[in-house]
Amino acid sequence: MNSSTVICVLLVLINLSFVKGEQTLEASFVFGDSIVDAGNNNFIQSLSKANLPPNGIDFMANGGKPTGRFTNGRTNADIVGEELGLKDYALPFLDPNCKGKAILKGVNYASGAAGIMNQTGRLFVNRISMDIQIDYFNITRKQLDGLLGPSNAKELLMKKSMFSITIGANDFLNNYLLPVLSIGERISETPNTFIDGLIKNLRGQLTRLYKLDARKIVVASVGPIGCIPYQKQINRVNEDECVDLPNKLAKQYNGRLKDLLKELTDNLPGATFVHANIYDLVMDIMTNYTKYGFQTASVACCGNGGQYQGIIPCGPQSSMCKDRSKYVFWDPYHPSEATNLIIAKKLVDGDTNYVSPINLRQLKDL
């Protein structure tokens, strides 16, 4: 083989490598609860809302005004999209502007207080459960066929879109673990039975998304819900402690979730289900918060009630910390933008400790 032939072969290989690594992400479809709600609950009669200041104070895309996001700035779904090249945030499905060509960039279906189970969050009156969120995606799916034609719509969804699901925490906090047992499920079900039901429902929901042409799907585990300021406050634990039962239930569910995602990847041709290990990631941030640049992992930046500011949600009458970047938690329940930034970057480019079997940049490039 002469030198010119070698050069040609190398150029072809380099070009093939370049093309393989240049898969573009054109749309993000976001499902879940208040961790990733971008404003859907603004448009329903619900007690779970974040449409009052100082929520959104650092969301510069809206001039520091509330958007319905349950944090001071961007959610981790917003940041993941940015990191993977999306120039626009997915609009909430219920936003009147979420129509026509706007849906080609993706849609956010997430809803504060939502759960895998339809009854979860009913104390908050209205919320959009995971089942209803998929019903809404089915509407979007038909709209995409109308905009692009069936073949191009499939191409967009299967190859150029990412689907993210952040759900499950409310099924424990606002269902199974409710203090009023008659409203929750604990009165009649063991933890194993309840978690069996969650996994069964989620299997059906994820399979339904697959049948609607979702192929690149990331599902978040439930975080260490026993460590949020609200749980620490109502259970009166020390600053360096978390509430044991919620965390125990979350870990039990998360083990089953990881097995489910492997099962679905093995059995649904062409699909890749990625497990986002939010539990261990957030626990690492909380345990080593000073290493990450925070001054507290226990006290909410915005809230009221006790040593952890953990009782009253963030609103105009709340006290607010001076430096929001120094707090792991924005309010009694939700992470700050600074925490969301760490989470998002670990999911996009991290190793298998926190995202498996591949990270989200690798998922994009499939």
Q: Which helix (H) or strand (E) holds 248?
A: helix 244-267
Best CA proximity match to 127, nearest among 173, 185, 90: 173
Quote the CA–CA distance of 90 and 314 in Å, as a whole number. 24
Q: Which helix (H) or strand (E) holds 157?
A: helix 150-159
Q: Let me know the angle formed at the C-alpha of 292 by 290 and 294, rounded to the nearest 5 degrees.
A: 55
- What is the DSSP secondary-structure string of 233-244? HHHT--TT---H
Is 213 catalytic? The answer is: no
Quote the CA–CA distance of 116 and 137 in Å, as a whole number. 16
- Cβ atoms of 304 and 311 within 8 Å: the answer is yes
* Terminal CA-CA length for the chain: 33
Residues 6+ apart with CB under 8 A from 179: none
Quote the CA–CA distance of 260 and 284 in Å, as a whole number. 24
Q: Let me know the angle formed at the C-alpha of 206 by 203 and 209, rounded to the nearest 5 degrees.
A: 150
Q: Of residues 28, 34, 48, 298, which has the active-site annotation?
A: 34
Is 331 catalytic? The answer is: yes
Is 34 catalytic? The answer is: yes
Quote the CA–CA distance of 80 and 10 in Å, as a whole number. 34
Name beta bridge partners: 92: 108
Q: Of residues 28, 33, 161, 334, which has the active-site annotation?
A: 334
Quote the CA–CA distance of 26 and 7 in Å, as a whole number. 34
Active site residues: 34, 331, 334
